[in-house]
Amino acid sequence: MDSREYTYDGTSPTVDSAASVSREATLAGDVRVEADVTVWPGAVLRGDVAPVELGAGSAIGDNAVLHGSTVGEGGMIGHGAVCNDTTVEAGAIVGFNATVSDAVIGAESIVAMGSVVPSGYEVPEASFVRGTPARVTPLAETDIDRDAVYGEFGTGEYAHLTEGHGELFD
């Protein structure tokens, strides 16, 4: 980690020693990163008005922005996604370039790439969320295999890419 870790109002980020946080990510204020989390280059985690909390095994993609938000265990935030004052529960996926503001994304749910989830949404567990503004459908009513989607990005070779990027995660 380089000098992109900043104190805000006397509170500094805390990062578990088993987490992989890119030295090109920015963490400011009350940011809590648990074990086995990956935070990729360009990500901004800003805990000034409220904490940013990343549960064990969660993944934050390149250029994602989290402001006063929580990601539960095993949750994934895609490249370029924005989460503002949001709770992403365990095992949920927020796709590339999605925007979620002042909302709750239920456990095991998927927010499609580019979707906009407006303030006040409370997405039920195991839902598929897509569109602008977002529409919610139970995953069971779709052809989406949530476990396959999660498996593609949350396990296997993709999940271990940090090992080949040593210079980014010193």
H/E segment holding residue 150: helix 146-154
In this structure, is residue 169 part of a structural domain? no
Cβ-in-10-Å burial (0-12, 13-18, 19+) of 9 comes to: exposed
Q: Is residue 79 part of a domain?
A: yes
User: CA 83, CA 128: separation in Å to the nearest integer?
Assistant: 17
pLDDT higher than threshold 90 for residue 149: no
Output the six-digit token pair for 159: 């999940």
* Residue 85 zone, left/alpha/beta (φ > 0; ψ -120 to 50; rest): left
Nearest to 149 by CA among 98, 103, 93: 93
Q: What pLDDT does 170 receive?
A: 62
Provide the percentage of residues in the chain whose pLDDT is more than 70. Answer: 93
What domain count does the chain have?
Answer: 1
Residue 170 located in a structural domain = no
State the pLDDT at residue 101.
97
CATH number of the domain that residue 42 is part of = 2.160.10.10
- Rounded mean pLDDT, 32-50: 96
The single residue listed with the structure tokens 């040593």 is 166
Judge if pTM exceeds 0.85.
yes
Structure confidence by residue, pLDDT tens digits, 62-118: 999 999 999 999 999 999 999 999 999 999 999 999 999 999 999 999 999 999 999
Q: Which domain holds residue 29?
A: 5-164
